[in-house]
Amino acid sequence: MKGNDKMEKVRGFEVAKGFEEKNINLPVRKTKYSAGYDVEAAEDCIIPSFKKGMKPTLIKTGIKAYMQDDEVLILANRSSNPGKKGLILANSIGVIDKDYYGNPDNDGHIMFAFFNVKDEDIEIKKGDYIGQAIFQKYLIVDNDSAEGERAGGFGSTNK
């Protein structure tokens, strides 16, 4: 590769708009056989103890992800979170589609939706590992006819 050639972007993480000056660390794998990239919280926050009817707490990461057309980014909880901190993902897993990247609502900013099942509030500090992100290929069925275009950010694909 020559000095002025740009490397083709295949898949990866970038800092989302609005977080450029907040010292965001991009996710990394800790070992060569880890499937998941460890994701940090972008800021301090409190996850309140669960009460019936409450909405999950969205933890900002300050990152977005780009990928190939037949790939998805899966957000998974840390295995230690439920036992140590009482944190469970409200949606079991997060699904980040390719077209979430750069969307007009929030630039594709990735957030983790948590419930806290402990009796006390849980404090998350900026830089704490909150979950992991796993890139995966996915398959499409015969006669698939999806042609819709994403119109927004979080939870917008059914609109």
Question: 12-137 — its CATH code?
Answer: 2.70.40.10
For 146-156, write each residue's pLDDT tens digit.
887 767 665 65
**Rg (the chain; Cα; Å):** 17
CA gap 117, 85 in Å, rounded:
8
Output the 3-class SS for 97-147: EHHHCCCCCCCCCCEEEEEECCCCCEEECCCCEEEEEEEEECCCCCCCCCC
Domain regions of the chain by residue span: 12-137
3-class SS of residue 21: coil
For 73-115, write each residue's pLDDT tens digit.
999 999 999 999 999 999 999 999 999 999 999 999 999 999 9
